[in-house]
Structure 1
Amino acid sequence: MDDLFLDRRTFVSTGAAAAASLFLEYSPLEAQSVSDTRTEPQMVNIVLSVNGENRPIQVDTRMTLLDALRNKLLLTGSKKGCDQGQCGACTIHMDGERRLSCLTLTVAAQGHKITTIEGLSQHDGQLHSMQQAFIDHDGFQCGYCTSGQIMSAVACVREGHATSDEDIREYMSGNLCRCAAYPNIVAAIKQAKTEMEKG
């Protein structure tokens, strides 16, 4: 038993000494160098095509499109919900397809046509038929998820996935509504689908 105890003590003390030597060999100057490399921003000048306008901006190469839209271009309709691509509040359109802007790097969006909720309505101020349908069917309560819901709903119709209540629920499942206005959202999409198909 004593031999076992001594062996354990020797093992622990030897391990601690080895760890300490590694720590001492790694100088603070090296640590500072690594830290600077990881955190130093790399700024680039790019032009984004947003809602039919070319918008020149300077961004950190690590900045998400959501942050660029909200903080650089002051288009705050796209919401930051989970910031992990799970709630759909940040949904925008890129080249006509729905995209989660919180998972898209701004630099990757250059050269693509971006549409946000602010650019969905007509130039004369008339609401898009989907926006009007959400109002008509009270498809929102707190309103936080609404812009993402509407952008996904428009894409859902364009993709041909609004043929039944089941299809709508399936293809809108990436957009969460904490107020649980789902039946009203389905009704709004069905109404807007008819209007969108006319136009």
Structure 2
Amino acid sequence: MPHNASHSVQHDVMHSLYANHHNWLYTWIRKRLDSQYDAADLTQDTFLRIHAKQNAATIKEPKAYLATIAKGLVCHFYRRRSLEQAYLELLATQPESFVISPEHEFIILQTLEEVDRLLNALPDQVKQVFLLSQIEGKKYQQIADEMHLSLATVKRYMKQAYVKCLILMGDDVFE
């Protein structure tokens, strides 16, 4: 099939998918969010993801597929909101002379989101060990005692977390 013909088919399928499922998807997302504007954005983002993958023609169960993508976007939305709220609460405890520009605030929030994604990619115990060390400042032996792990296991978990961090940093550096 010539490129223009396949593009036209993809466009028609995407248009049909959007026309047939936009309203129910918006309603589905709206029930999970407290803002009609956020629901509209996530509904659009759901269709944009499909459009970007150019796989609309291969979707067999559109409602299930759309709901799966939307569910991930809603989870990401709430996780990001939680991170932003924690960050704003931390900022509120700082002296008034401590001012961050909107650009730096954006960079900090993006970084927090990356760290959150990194941590959620780690196994639960590795994540817990890493947080106890890096956030709470506990020594490896304290963590081992608290979690009933060997010191060698704590060190192995920390190495695993650091390697994951370095891999992600390398991905960003080389992109």
**Scaled by the length of structure 2, what TM-score is found?**
0.35
Q: Which fold has the larger relative contact order, with Cα–Cα distance below 8 Å and residues 6 or more apart in sequence?
A: 1
**Is the radius of gyration larger for structure 1 or structure 2?**
1
Instruction: Please identify which structure carries the higher helix content.
Output: 2
**Scaled by the length of structure 1, what TM-score is found?**
0.32
